[in-house]
Chains A and B, each alone.
Chain A
Amino acid sequence: MIGPFVFGLLLPVVAGCAALALHRRPDLASRIAAGSIVASSVLTGGCAICSLATGATASIKIPWNVPLGSLSLGMDPLSAAFVLPISILASAAALYGRDYLTATVRPGWIARSWFFFNSLVAAMLLVVSARNGLLFLFAWEAMSLASFFLVLTEYDHDEVRHAAWVYAVAAHIGTACLLVLFLLLGRGGSSLDFEQFTPQAAFASAAFILALIGFGTKAGFVALHVWLPEAHPAAPSHVSALMSGVMIKTGIYGLLRTLTFLGEVQPLWGWTLLGIGLATALYGVVFAIAQQDLKRMLAYSSVENIGIISIGLGTGLLGLAYNIPAMAACALMGSMLHILNHSLFKGVMFLGAGAIQLRTRTRDMNQLGGLLKRMPWTGRSFLVGALAISGLPPLNGFLGEALIVVGALIGVIASKHAHALPGEIVGVAVVGGLALIGGLSVACFTRAFGCVFLGEPRSQQASSAREVDGGMRIGMLILAAGCLLVSLLAPLWPALFRSAILALAGGDIRDAVMASPQPQSLLIALGVAYWLLAGVFALVWWLRRRIAGSWQAETGPTWDCGYAAPDPRMQYTASSFGDPFARLFRLLLRTRSGQGVPAGFFPQEARFSSESPDPFASSLFAPAFQVVAWLASKVRHLQHGRIQIYVLYIALTLIALLVWKLD
């Protein structure tokens, strides 16, 4: 099993280099690179399904003459649960990217873009399969750098360079924590191989905090999320899809993998993840509603979904810590399923946003409208994504969230008689929290779909938009079909993900988690209930058709309460749709609006604009980095550029070291 996987990992790298060599023939380079991604996805995805279905693990180890390092790769169900979404989304994004890049990027850049894209896919696969701390960090850094260069694709725009810079800084703050984390974990061992990590009770909490910051920066936990709303809109859309759909999930993978090294689960970890998840999800969805830029909105929604995943993980860890196996099984499985689901529906929405941007030259939702008629395939795929991401039946988003909430409910009910777990807090946080988040994300995505695809076009570009075709359409349809497929195959997932969550459950509870039937029975019941809903809908549809068959429908203008001359500019805009939410959450959002009120007897012009800048970026990180810049300017005096002074530094350092060693 590991053989095909390693081959699938190396294939994109080789093809990426080949594409770079063929940079004078961009079409051929695209073909080779995209083809290699699809081939690699088939191999790695197949290995992942194999490992998930059988629970098998496989590994390979090649010596590497780097201190503490070894080329140690492995595949186990936990890795496989992340390889699966990577391979699905990467191939859809590659198919989409082939036509998208040709249409958007100048020919000279296409081969380079593919090189970095292929490197990103390979690095992500390496991250989730590395079994050595040093190799992991190497892959992690390669992943950050490849995505950094991909974000920089349109480097001649100021805001793109700014976004890439913010991303590079955030990525390296995270990596700094991970460096310390792995040194801490590998203390006393001869190498940083994962199998040599032994649980150290004294450092467990410190390691957990380091992992939380280091991996949380990549995942986008609240306060560390500031790079997401910058980098996702700046990157080409198929890259945004990949970054948002799976790259940020590698942060979650890292966190989970670290948890397997730390020994007995402590309740505090569960509470921390639950609290962070709740804050992240609420923050993400509230800011998503306040955005007018389509891709920025999707980026904030990714923050929300990382929050939901984290809520599920926190709930699951609480279930493990307080010994309620059914709660742990449901919530952890819900998180795992949500990771897969989010990669599908967020992928389709980012690809859709890219198609819209390509055809209308704008991402401003207030300028769009009426696109469902002009871009029907994009619109339908986006609708599937919107319904799924709102967590509503009958699509896949509901399955993961339902598992998490049912896990929490099991815990709450159990805590009535076993008082160890404060059930009311879990109940309010998970059940109440997810209900509120679900309601807000319904608002967020009805707003997005309604303002972009329904009504009349609000601008000239939107009214002249036309559908995308070829690979771009296929890429979107694959992911939309994936959303439907996951919900059709609902009863299958618990059996697949059961072995993945067992990595977290150590000790006595392991068998109980393995044996708990609740996730399986819930998803079987939901699978049947989906068919019931489909049956009732078919009945209603049939009745409606029978009734409507006898007459010819008339058409006319929208009634609009009798106003005879409606204008597209009179429609409710994305800003007006978000306004009540902006008022309710005004303390958090601090929306700034500028308006020009019409004046005089014959008013000519009125204007209104509003924006909700991220408070963490503007009030926390901006001042903090100003201090850093100030300190750096003070240290700059050390740098003179004269050889003599550097030789003096070296001499002084040597003397200092000698003195230190002499003692």
Chain B
Amino acid sequence: MFSIAGCLPVLLAFCGAPLLFSVINRTKAKFAGRRGAPWLQPYFELAKLLRKSAVYSRTTTPLFTLGPMVSCAATATALLFVPLSGVAPVFAFPGDVLWVVYLLGTSRFFMVLAALDTGSSFEGMGANREVFFSALAEPALLLSLTTLAVWSQSLSLGGIYGNLGAVVLAPAAGPPLLLVAAALLIVFLAENARIPVDDPTTHLELTMIHEVMILDHSGPDFALIQYAASLRLWLLGSLLVGVVVPWRSAGLVLNVLAGCTCLFLLAVLTGIIESVMARLRLVRVPEFLIAASVLSIVALVLMMR
């Protein structure tokens, strides 16, 4: 299925996704008593990186540059199937739930190989943590989406989130949807490498996950990685806010505005979480992610009652 209306939020995502990073950083700056970087800072950085040339390690193969490209392409493709609040996505088919989740997997697969391509033990370590934590986060994400699919009796993300608005006020839906939202929040933080799973601003490579995987990327490759990261933030954010604020209106513009506002509020929340929490010890992260799976299992069981 193809929806022309879905192009509007997707265009907004492609243009505005990096802005989410500046919302998070401004929030953190406010908490720290700083003024913070300009709103358009992520764009300045992308523009600067695109102008620069790259330095490649002699160890690397073409996979090193392929990784960021595949990652960006897969995330962008996945975004075409994800609805923002009530607006139908550009494309939808029954079963696209899996397609979207596994596309994120493809993106990760190639980024991990690009990291291992350098032969650096730091990047090997980051790659290892990335696959380890995402293997634990994936069941939580898919089970949460299953719970929503049961509730809205649909197999496509467009259908799932489209029907959610109509039925959400039923009292039976409250507890499971709340649990799903909690599980999705954990997945959102983990997959986007935010505190408490990963600290994007830490200075010690030994404790990083996502940032340490991309130490050797520079120039346009690094720009692609950063852009893909912002798209992923937008994508997983839309899945989360679609559950938390299932308000749907008839008007397209109103819907899109509501969705974007919710996404920026989510970015503010992420900034608050990053300001008030410390990163978990690495050995505690698996427990945190398994908790997300348990929450989504409980939600599914409740949903079946």
Contacts and interface: CB of A to CB of B under 8 A. Distances in A.
Interface in B121-143: 121-125, 127-129, 131-132, 134-139, 141-143
A390 B56 contact: no
Interface string A409-431: 11011011000001110011001
B303 to A, nearest CB: 8
B113 A449 contact: yes
B4 interface: no
Interface stretch (B95-103, B236-244, B247-255, B272-280): B95-103
A605 interface: no
B201 interface: no
A577 B138 contact: no
Interface string A443-474: 10011011100111000000000000000000
A642 interface: no
**What bracket does the count of chain A residues touching chain B fall in?**
35 or more
B153 A413 contact: yes
B3 interface: no
B264 to A, nearest CB: 26
A210 to B, nearest CB: 34
Interface residues of B, number: 81
Interface stretch (B26-34, B35-43, B47-55, B192-200): B47-55
A329 to B, nearest CB: 13
Contacts of A625: none
Nearest to A579: B128
B216 A559 contact: yes
B117 A555 contact: no
Contact of B95 (A402, A443, A568, A571): A402
A387 interface: yes
A436 B138 CA distance: 6
A184 B50 CA distance: 72
B220 interface: yes
Contacts, number: 259
Interface in A374-401: 383, 387, 390-394, 398
B73 A456 contact: no
Contacts of B106: 387, 392-394
A435 B132 contact: no
B116 A548 contact: no
Contacts of A577: 124, 127-128
Given A398-B102, A432-B293, A571-B121, A540 B72 contact: yes
B230 interface: no
A566 B119 contact: yes
A413 to B, nearest CB: 6
Contacts of A431: 139, 142-143, 146
A428 B298 CA distance: 10
B119 A456 contact: yes
Contacts of A552: 53
Given A372-B61, A455-B118, 11 more contacts: A410-B155, A413-B150, A416-B153, A424-B304, A436-B138, A450-B124, A454-B63, A540-B76, A544-B224, A548-B219, A552-B53
Interface of B: 50, 53-61, 63, 65, 69-70, 72-74, 76-77, 80, 91, 93-99, 101-103, 105-106, 108-109, 112-113, 116-125, 127-129, 131-132, 134-139, 141-143, 146, 149-150, 153-155, 205, 215-216, 219-220, 224, 286, 293, 296-297, 300-301, 303-304
